[in-house]
Chain A
Amino acid sequence: MIKKSLVSAFWIGTVYLLIIAFFGSKRVPSLQGIRQDNLVRAQTVLWGAHHPENIIVGSSLPAMMDTRILGSNFHSLAISGYSSITGLELLERNLTFKPKRILVEAQFLNRNSTKDIQESIERPVMSFFRKHIKGFRDQFRPATVIANKISKVFGKLESWANSGPRQPRIPLKNSVSPDLERTNTLSIVALPNPNPKPAPKLKLPAQISPEDVKYPHLVEYSMHEFVGLIETNQVLDNLKLLKNLVNRFEKKGVECIFFETPVHLAITNTPLSIFQHQLFSKAFPTSRYRWILPEPGVHYFTADGIHLTGDSIKLYTDYFTNAVEIGASENLRETKNEKP
Chain B
Amino acid sequence: MLFNSFSFIILLAVTFFLFYLPRLKQWQTHILIASSFIFYAHDTPRLLLLLIASILFNASVSFWIVRKKPSRKFLLTVLAIIANVIVIALFKYGPLLGSLIPDAKSTGIGHFLLRLPLPIGISFYTFESISLIVDTYRGGTKTPFVHGNFYLHLINTTLFVAFFPHLISGPILKAHDFYPQIQPKDRSDIHWENVFKLLVVGYFLKMVVADNLKDLTFWMTYPFFLPLWSGFLVSCLFGFSIQIFADFAGYSLIAIGIAEMFGYRLIQNFCFPYISSSLAEFWQRWHISLSSWLREYLYFPLGGNRRGKFRTYFNLFLVMAIGGLWHGAALSYAIWGIYHGLGLALERAMASNKPSRVPLTGFFKAFKICSVFLFVTLGWLLFKMPNFDHAIAFCRAMFANWGENIQFSPVIYIMVYALPVLIYHYLHLFKSSAFRAFVIRYQHVIYGALIVGILLNSGSPGSFIYFQF
A-chain residues with CB within 8 Å of residue B6 when the two chains form the complex: 124
The reply to whether A32 and B413 contact each other, CB–CB distance below 8 Å, is yes
Interface residue? B253 (CB, 8 A)? no
Chain B, residues 330-358, CB within 8 Å of chain A (1/0): the string is: 00000000000000000000000000000
Would you call A143 and B417 a contact (CB within 8 A)?
yes
Q: Do the beta carbons of A143 and B193 come within 8 Å of each other?
A: no
Determine how close the nearest CB of chain B comes to the CB of A279; give it in whole angstroms: 30
Asked if B180 lies at the interface with its beta carbon under 8 angstroms from chain A, I say: no
Considering only CB atoms and an 8 Å cut-off, how many residues of chain A contact the other chain? 43
| Size range of the chain B interface in the assembly | 35 or more
- B452 partner residues in chain A, CB cutoff 8 A: 9, 12-13, 16, 142
In the complex where A1-B196, A33-B218, A142-B456 touch, is A151 in contact with B412 (Cβ < 8 A)?
yes
Say whether B406 contacts A32, CB under 8 Å.
no
Residue of B at shortest CB range from A10?
A: B448
| Chain B, residue nearest A20 (CB) | B456
Contact status of A215 and B408, CB under 8 A, knowing A9-B451, A13-B452, A33-B218: no
Name the B residues within 8 Å of A162 (CB-CB): 405-406
- In the complex the two chains form, what is the Cα distance from A45 to B141 in whole Å? 71
B460 A4 Cβ-Cβ under 8 A: no
Instruction: Give the residues from 157 to 206 in chain A that come closer than 8 angstroms, CB to CB, to chain B.
Output: 157-158, 161-162
CA distance A340 to B457 in the complex (A): 59
- B223 touching A218 by the CB < 8 A rule? yes
Whole-angstrom distance between the alpha carbons of A215 and B444 in the complex? Answer: 51
Contact flag A143-B408 (CB < 8 Å), given A7-B448, A32-B212, A32-B216: no
Q: Is A49 an interface residue (CB 8 A)?
A: no
Whole-angstrom distance from the CB of A238 to the nearest CB of chain B? 24
B196 touches A141 (CB 8 A): no
Q: Is A100 an interface residue (CB 8 A)?
A: no
Expressed in whole angstroms, the minimum distance between the Cβ of B8 and any Cβ of chain A is: 15
Report which residue of A13, A147, A215 has the largest number of chain B beta carbons within 10 angstroms of its beta carbon. Answer: A147
* Alpha-carbon separation in the docked complex, A150 to B215 (Å): 19
Q: Counting CB contacts under 8 A, is A217 at the interface?
A: yes
Tell me the bound Cα distance from A4 to B227 in angstroms. Answer: 49
- Distance A34 CA – B448 CA, assembled complex (angstroms): 29
Q: Which of A1, A10, A30, A303 contacts B193 (CB 8 A)?
A: A1
| Residue from the list B208, B223, B227, B412 in contact with A150, Cβ < 8 A | B412
**With an 8 A cutoff between CB atoms, is A5 at the interface?**
yes
Q: Which residues of A contact B227 (CB under 8 A)?
A: 214-215, 218, 303
Q: Is B207 an interface residue (CB 8 A)?
A: no
Q: Is the CB of A1 within 8 A of B226?
A: no
Q: Are B193 and A2 in contact (CB under 8 A)?
A: yes
* In the complex, B429 has a CB within 8 A of chain A: no
Query: Which A residues, 1 to 57, have Cβ-Cβ distances below 8 Å to chain B?
Result: 1-2, 4-13, 16, 30, 32-36
A229, chain B: closest CB distance, angstroms: 17
- Cα separation A12 to B453 with both chains bound (whole Å): 10
Bound form: Cα–Cα A244–B218 in Å: 35
Chain A residue nearest in CB terms to B451: A9
User: B409 an interface residue at 8 Å Cβ cutoff?
Assistant: yes
- A32, B215: Cβ atoms under 8 Å? yes
> Which residues of chain B are within 8 angstroms of A157 by Cβ–Cβ distance?
408
Q: In whole Å, how far is B336's beta carbon from the nearest beta carbon of chain A?
A: 26
Question: For chain B residues 408-428, which have a beta carbon within 8 Å of chain A?
Answer: 408-410, 412-413, 416-417
Decide if B183 is an interface residue (CB 8 Å cutoff).
no
Min Cβ gap A33→B in Å is 3
Inside 8 A of A217's CB, which chain B residues have their CB?
Answer: 223, 226
Given A140-B456, A157-B408, 17 other A-B contacts at CB below 8 A?
A: A4-B444, A5-B196, A5-B447, A12-B448, A13-B456, A16-B456, A32-B413, A33-B216, A34-B215, A146-B416, A151-B409, A154-B412, A158-B409, A215-B226, A215-B227, A218-B227, A303-B227
Closest 6 CB pairs of A and B: A8-B448, A33-B215, A4-B444, A9-B448, A5-B447, A9-B451
Instruction: Give 22 CB contacts A-B under 8 Å.
Output: A1-B443, A1-B447, A4-B448, A5-B448, A7-B444, A7-B448, A8-B448, A9-B451, A9-B452, A10-B448, A12-B445, A33-B215, A34-B215, A120-B460, A136-B456, A141-B457, A142-B452, A158-B406, A158-B407, A158-B408, A218-B223, A218-B227
